[in-house]
Amino acid sequence: MGKLFSINNYNEIKEIFHDKGLKCTPQRQAVLKVLQESKGYLSISKIHRNVKELLPGTGLATVYRSLETLIELNLVVKVHLEDGCHSYAVAPKGHRHPIVCTDCNRVIDYTECPMEDLSKKLTKDTGILIQNHFLQLFGTCKQCQT
Amino acid sequence: MGKLFSINNYNEIKEIFHDKGLKCTPQRQAVLKVLQESKGYLSISKIHRNVKELLPGTGLATVYRSLETLIELNLVVKVHLEDGCHSYAVAPKGHRHPIVCTDCNRVIDYTECPMEDLSKKLTKDTGILIQNHFLQLFGTCKQCQT
DNA sequence: GCCCTAATTGAGAAACTTTCTCAATTGTAT
DNA sequence: ATACAATTGAGAAAGTTTCTCAATTAGGGC
Ligand SMILES: [Zn+2]
Ligand SMILES: [Zn+2]
Ligand SMILES: [Zn+2]
Ligand SMILES: [Zn+2]
């Protein structure tokens, strides 16, 4: 089927798949595109609904599988909400943290990681070897502060 | 039925319930006790299994309901894992962050919040009004570093 | 461009998780 | 002790995620 959508960085995306021996299928592209265009996190069912508009007949199982793949490739992140988990958003590049606007669901990319220094300090202080962390910020974005 | 378990701070707990007009039932006590004694996060099914040892016949729905209540009372927190969410642990008092040992599942209480200064800085820098944050650390505890 | 092959997909079943309903029970205040 | 509203257990119902397998397809080699 080949290139279906005008994802701006299509060749880049294609390479990321091929580097890991994975196929660049229209379904995977569609899931990514839906998230790229939403500018916010989306639940599985919303992703499925939007994907079907681009690619009617796409199965729910495929959406689950695509998200799994996209997360492995670091193209997508899972967003954990206070209750009702498992929404998804496009991944910021590198190690960053998402700021979720609780009004419009938009996900804003936060580029500084306050944990780098802290992790070292903590390991030194407590003896616990910090290996990973999970940080999300919730707030109200500029546009929603009216 | 009244007091069933020797929760050290039984009267304190009872008051917390009564302050909100909630009953201090054996089921709610049992769920709390199970989490207090585990020193780590537990999945719903494990909580249910352990609760039934203290209180045979306790229904699964009641475990769900009790956890909901205990979270509202800030006695329990939901722990979000990288995949497979919705485990639970006793809440640290005040605003703190849990460090989860990825080897033994123990939850260690971390008392400093690195976000306080950061949130203000971020609001100033980006204009986004930071209202809340969700931080968990993952690592290896002393005992598991052998 | 046309095969070949392994990876991927769709559909539905199956497994699993969470919520709901309602009659029976029970904690608490009086 | 009694009354009443809150809570519970059981099972049904709803919702979510994973699995299975035959059919399809992307990508590499010719
Ligand atoms: Zn979560
Ligand atoms: Zn917003
Ligand atoms: Zn440990
Ligand atoms: Zn904090």
Residue ranges for chain B with pLDDT beneath 70:
1-8, 39, 82-86, 92
Q: Which residues have a beta carbon within 5 Å of ligand 1, which is an ion? A: A 80, 85; B 80, 85
Q: Taking 70 as the threshold, does the pLDDT of residue A17 lie above it?
A: yes
Looking at residue B40, what DSSP letter applies? B
pLDDT of residue A96: 66
- Angle between the N-to-C axes of helices B60-72 and B26-38, in degrees from 0 to 180, rounded to the nearest 10: 70
pTM of this prediction? 0.80
Q: For chain A, how many residues are written?
A: 146
Average pLDDT over chain A, rounded to whole? 82
CATH 1.10.10.10 in chain B is located at 1-91
Strands B107-110 and B87-90: unpaired
Residues 7-36 of A with CB under 7 A from strand C: 21-23, 25, 27-28
Pick the CATH number of A1-91 from 1.10.8.50, 3.30.9.10, 3.30.70.980, 1.10.10.10: 1.10.10.10
Chain A partners of B132 at a C-beta cutoff of 8 Å? 102, 137-139
Cβ-based neighbours of B141, under 8 Å, separated by 6 or more:
A128, B99, B101, B103, B104, B106, B108
Give the C-alpha separation, A30 to B87, whole Å: 32
The candidate with the shortest Cα–Cα distance to A91, out of A105, A76, A81, is: A76
Let me know: does A100 contact A138? Beta carbons within 8 Å: yes
Picking from B21, B43, B40, B60, the residue whose alpha carbon sits closest to that of residue B108 is B40
Work out if B57's Cβ lies within 7 angstroms of strand C.
no
Confidence of residue A63 (pLDDT cuts 50, 70, 90): very high
Which is more confidently placed, A85 or B58? Answer: B58
Q: A104 — contact with chain B (CB < 8 Å)?
A: no
A44, A63 contact by CB (below 8 A) = yes
CA distance A69 to A23: 11
- Assign A93 a pLDDT band (cuts: 50, 70, 90): low
Q: Domain spanning B93-146 has what CATH number?
A: 3.30.1490.190
More confident residue, B128 or A30: A30
Which of the residue ranges A13-22, A34-43, B99-108, B134-143 would you say has the lowest mean pLDDT? B99-108
pLDDT for A69 beyond 80: yes
What single string gives the DSSP state of each residue in chain A? ----S--TTHHHHHHHHHHTT----HHHHHHHHHHHHHSB-EEHHHHHHHHHHHSTT--HHHHHHHHHHHHHTTSEEEE--SSS--EEEEPPSSS-EEEEETTT-BEEEE---THHHHHHHHHHHH--EEEEEEEEEEEE-GGG--
Which of the ligands is closest to the CA of residue A79?
1
Closest approach of B10 to chain A, Cα-based (Å): 28
Give span(s): CATH 3.30.1490.190, chain A. Answer: 93-146
Res B6: pLDDT: 45
Q: Which pLDDT belongs to residue B67?
A: 93
pLDDT at A92 over 70: no
Residues in chain B, overall count: 146
**Beta strand extents in chain B (DSSP E only):** 42-43, 76-79, 87-90, 97-101, 107-110, 129-140
Q: Indicate the pLDDT class of residue A57, thresholds 50, 70 and 90.
A: very high
Query: pLDDT at residue A21 above 60?
Result: yes
The answer, yes or no, to whether residue A33 has pLDDT greater than 90, is: yes
Taking the C1' atom of every nucleotide in all shown strands and the CA of A57, the nearest one is C10
Average pLDDT over residues A39-57: 91
CB contact under 8 Å between B126 and A108, yes or no, is: yes
